[in-house]
Amino acid sequence: MTVLQVKVWRGGESGHYQEFEVPRFESQSVLDVVTYIQRSLDPTLSYRFACRVGMCGSCAMTVNGKARWTCRTHVAKVAAADRLEIAPLANLPVVKDLVTDMSPFFEKWAAAHGRFQGGRTRRDDFERVPPDSPQRGLVDEAIECIGCGICYSSCDVVSWNADYLGPAALNRAWTLVNDVRDTDQTRLAAVAGDAGCHACHTQMTCTERCPKQLSPTASIAGLKRLALAAALEGEI
């Protein structure tokens, strides 16, 4: 039976890698490996997951140097030479072992006006969005985000500028500025500042890494264009 050599981050911000030997199974995911370690080798290991099917976005970790959703990442795909190095997501405070504090990530969604602000009440009729309208098309391309934080953790600009809103929050803002029902008039200004869309260097690591194959870079570029147009009009 093949054995995987697995190095797992232990501790908080300062810590060390601990080595485990984990039996290799067919169709094994990286999350299976972490779960095996916790259930059979060391019950004190902390990590996070919920759905196991790529929907909830809670299982993201750094696997052999790249942020990935571990429940949908096959060991066969990433463990060259049967070696794995599993660390918590970068760019976020480490709580313990593989668990990060996601608060800065979600606070930036709020700062980017990531909340839908409708103009109708429950007594009004539904507002209709034509499914084939161009704006709905733009929203469709960006809406499937599961909030896993992989893009945020992969982004150099986040590492360089702690205030940068990051790919996910900007992607969310882009879906809302294209939502014809939304009434928030200040969102574009909120994402066009120093720590907003213009800080993006188009390194595209977010797009490279997004497990849902979204392109936050595309959304950020869209925001850059809208912000430029609004600035030329003197609106922001």
Partner 1 sequence: MKNDFRARNHPAYWAFLVHRVSGLLLALFLPLHFWALGQALQGEAQLDSFLRWTEQPLVKFAEVVLVLLLAAHMAGGVRLLMLEFLAWRDWHKSLLAAAAGLSIAAGLAFLLNLV
Applying the rule CB under 6 A, the residues between 70 and 99 that interact with ligand FES are 71
Can you say whether the dihedral through the CA atoms of 160, 162, 163, 166 is positive or negative?
A: positive
Binding mask 116-155 for partner 1 (x = CB under 8 A): -------------------------------------xx-
Rounded to a whole number of angstroms, the minimum distance from the CB of residue 75 to partner 1 is 17
| Tokens found for residue 157 | 């600009």
Q: Can you give the C-alpha Rg of the chain in angstroms?
A: 20
Q: Where are the alpha helices (DSSP H) in the chain?
A: 30-36, 75-78, 103-111, 134-142, 150-154, 156-160, 167-177, 187-191, 205-209, 216-232
Looking at 3, 11, 21, 50, which residue binds ligand FES (CB under 6 A)? 50
Residue 87 binds partner 1, judged by CB under 8 A: yes
User: With CB under 8 A, what is the number of residues at the site for partner 1?
Assistant: 31
Q: Which does 225 bind (CB under 5 to 8 A by kind): ligand FES, partner 1, none?
A: partner 1
Nearest CA to 34 among 77, 81, 73? 73
Decide if residue 58 touches ligand FES (CB under 6 A).
Answer: yes
Closest residue by Cα to residue 136 from 189, 181, 188? 181
Among 108, 113, 172, 224, binds partner 1 (CB under 8 A): 224
Establish if 51 lies at the interface with ligand FES (CB under 6 A). Answer: yes
State the binding partner of 50 from partner 1, ligand FES, none, CB within 5 to 8 A by kind: ligand FES
* ∠ CA 73-213-116, rounded to 5°: 115
The correct pick among 39, 40, 42, 55 for binding ligand FES (CB under 6 A) is 55
Residues in a beta bridge with 182: 118
Binding stretches for ligand FES (CB under 6 A)? 49-52, 54-59, 69, 71
